[in-house]
Amino acid sequence: MAGVAYLSNRPPPPEGPPPAGEPAPLPVQAVLLARGIIPLDLPFMVMYAPAVNTTNYTVSTHVEFEATREGAANVSYLWRNVTGADLPIVFRHLSPLEDLEDPPNTFRLFPTGVCLPQAWCITYSWSWPYPGSAYLLTKAVDVNYSVFLVRPNPPFERAEWLEVRFSIEGTSRWDITGRLPRENITEAAGEDRVPLGSQVVVYGSEFRRIYLDQLELPISEFHYDLQTFTFDAGIHGTITAKLGSTFRWSPWTRYWIDIDLRQSDMSYPDNATFQLYVDRRFGSLIAEQVA
């Protein structure tokens, strides 16, 4: 029968899709309702170059990502606030990586690929040299999705649900021209600026590099809510869902700020004192001159 697929899965309880980890999978029937593609710029990192009031200093901000080792992604996404259709809904990620299955309603992004054991790892790095500004690094992807009506075979009472099966394509495309504000993202303010420890003094005769991974961070996970998305569910209407990201710094990711003398100036500038913050949404390091 066209548009019908058979697979192994678990029947959901009467109130919704099956929770992860239940035993005894049963065969189910999946009827294709609709397909679609959603182009998406995933906000990945904000880079802050500090404004320097003291003359004769130059500043630059750097971020570096090495291909993730052993499949341990440091950024993950969750579909939540899922509404709009007349049946329970579950999202399932069709991962291109073997033996890598994401829990329902989630997916992981490997922005620089996966570095397998005993393999050469690719490192990506970006710099932002414009004082007093912030820059958004995004990942341009396509969300290819298919919506299925799923029912157990044989059927169970009130056991039907909708399943959005999706894949993330085009993950090699980076956008590196995103000066803020952009994509509805502004510089961190208010509660999104979390202060870090004591202040940092840069003496006029020295070059100073401030590594984020050498600082004690008060939080280890950073969360950002993207916009709400709409999926066509055929005769069952439309599905709306909000996408949220969770980012963690790992040993294969680094972020640092360089503060240096201007090469053409032989005089020493005054000392500069900076208060450090971390962006609660993306984990970025912010240095603000206070003296």
Most confident of 1-15, 89-103, 195-209: 195-209
Of 225, 221, 191, nearest to 42 by C-alpha is: 225
Q: What is the pLDDT of residue 180?
A: 87
Q: In this structure, is residue 154 part of a structural domain?
A: no
What is the average pLDDT score of the chain? 81
Q: In this structure, is residue 159 part of a structural domain?
A: no
C-alpha–C-alpha distance, residues 129 and 126, integer Å: 10
pLDDT digit string (tens) for 30-61? 899 999 999 988 888 899 999 887 667 789 99
- Residue 70 has, within 13 A of its CA and on its CB side, a CA count of 3
Q: What is the pLDDT of residue 172?
A: 63
- Interval 202-220 mean pLDDT: 89
Percent of the chain, pLDDT > 70? 79
- Confidence class of residue 177 from pLDDT cuts 50, 70 and 90? low
Q: How many other CB atoms are there within 10 angstroms of residue 69's CB atom? A: 15
Structural domain containing residue 276: 35-142+169-289
- Confidence class of residue 119 from pLDDT cuts 50, 70 and 90? low
Q: In this structure, is residue 105 part of a structural domain?
A: yes
DSSP 24: -
Q: What is the pTM of this model?
A: 0.81
Cβ atoms of residues 104 and 92 within 8 Å: yes
13 has a pLDDT exceeding 50: no
Of 166, 165, 222, nearest to 191 by C-alpha is: 222
Q: In this structure, is residue 27 part of a structural domain?
A: no
Choose the weakest-confidence range: 20-24, 80-84, 168-172, 270-274. 20-24
Q: What is the pLDDT of residue 118?
A: 64
Q: In this structure, is residue 152 part of a structural domain?
A: no
Tokens for 96? 């291109």
C-alpha–C-alpha distance, residues 69 and 118, integer Å: 10
Q: In this structure, is residue 196 part of a structural domain?
A: yes
Q: What is the pLDDT of residue 252?
A: 78
> DSSP of 140-158, one letter per residue?
EEEEEEEEEEEEESS--TT
26 has a pLDDT exceeding 70: no
Q: What is the pLDDT of residue 11?
A: 38
239 has a pLDDT exceeding 60: yes
- Interval 233-254 mean pLDDT: 91
When divided into structural domains, the chain yields a total of: 1
C-alpha–C-alpha distance, residues 291 and 279, integer Å: 22
- Residue 18 has, within 13 A of its CA and on its CB side, a CA count of 19
Tokens for 207? 């070059």
267 has a pLDDT exceeding 90: no
Q: In this structure, is residue 29 part of a structural domain?
A: no
C-alpha–C-alpha distance, residues 217 and 45, integer Å: 17
CA distances (Å), origin 160, targets 17, 47, 60, 128, 140: 8, 46, 55, 51, 34
C-alpha–C-alpha distance, residues 115 and 71, integer Å: 8
Q: In this structure, is residue 175 part of a structural domain?
A: yes
How many residues can be counted in the chain?
291
